[in-house]
Chains A and B, each alone.
Chain A
Amino acid sequence: MSMEEEVLRELKEAFGDKIFEHKIQKMRVYVKVPIDSYSDVIKYLVLSKGMYHLETITGIEVKDGIEIMAHLGTGLCISVRTTIGKETPKAPSICDLIPGAEFYEREIHELLGVVFEAHPNLKRFVLPDDWPEGVYPLRRSFESKHNAPLREGFE
């Protein structure tokens, strides 16, 4: 059994049905969990598996909501993903587990409008101070006029 499968098996043993989607690539494991067990899975990985290193947190707007994905681990990278609603996106903060998550959560908060509960300092980070409230640049609804047309016969 490869390293990736081993980790996935252990995760399934610990959380059972909570892990309702998974994907394996070389040195990469993606698991999808519901929002209420998102921080539990990360807690388990950090405390029991010693995966102290958080690569980053990616926020993506997908069809049925906003997906948050925390990438953990130095060699083998485990991505824990969860989907939350688009209207009032709320997610638990993992800053108490990994202090290094602060900047990543602030970035997602600004660019996608996700509110991280119990975050120590959810202030403006990458956007200018005079950026209008409620405009989230990484949302699909944010119209960027820079859609440069492809040249003819490009394909």
Chain B
Amino acid sequence: MSFEQYVVETLKTVVFPGFVFIFFLSLFYEWFDRKFYARLQNRVGPLYTGFYGLLQPLADFIKLLSKEDIVPKKVDQLLFTMTPLFTLALSIFATLLLPISSNQGVVSFNGDVIVSILILTFICITVFYAGLSTYNRYAVIGAERLFLQMIGYEIPLTLSVVGVALNAQSLLLSDIVLSQERWWYILGPQALGFIVFVFAAQAELERIPFDLPEAEQEIIAGWNIDYSGRRLAMFRLARNIELVFLCGLAATFFLGGPLGPTIEGYTPILYTLYFVIKSLFVLAVLTVVRALFARLRIDQVESFCWKYLLPLALFQFVLVRLIL
């Protein structure tokens, strides 16, 4: 690898479409989520910081960073300090897999579809340890709920992706993107897979109706009750980046990723734009789901996942198999 290549690769990882770009994109997504949610509820949402409150998530992030750093005495020191870093690192790594500015992610290798699903599970497990490490009663209940929930949604999520991979005959994200040049998968039987994916993503992101691990009215803040200051900021950032990742993944799998009509010379910019528009559509769907439902109970989450999501995912899987 020559020096020039080295610099380009580094810039790709760190600046665009790597960390810096993802950081600001995740703050923008949070703003979009909050604003749209507020408008759905007849509120104004973020308004004063920046253009229509666009800088509010950034302000919140900086504020949290400047807060006092508290490590409670009786927590497991190692896990308590390491888990926020792990969660953030995992979610940043995950976004490097996403094809944003070209049909390939920054990191691309055979089997990255499996890795992307694996990272989601890893994030869930680190968060589980984050909850357990505090030994707080509410956090323990939250962590317990998180795991129970994961058992429910993980399999339908994977199955919905399997349908897509089967159709593309590949486990490479870039192949999946390229195979959607003629028609997007959401227009075929994978539409069912998209529905499954949206609900599973909602559960992964702990949003209503699946926000049980941090259900405010029941167990206060659930697993993140003892986290404050910059650790909380890290968790929030990780959560936002995960939001970008899941929306991007849905766009990649079902909406043709960054593909679209291009003009010579402007391809990366246009691709990025298409990617953002498509994943914002997914985010809008997620936000509407969040606004429409009440929170389920843990046993109802389980029965919903096993009774409805799993058969739906299996049905989609069989349908794809029959068509092929």
> A–B direct touch, CB within 8 Å, in complex?
no
A residues with CB within 8 A of B? none
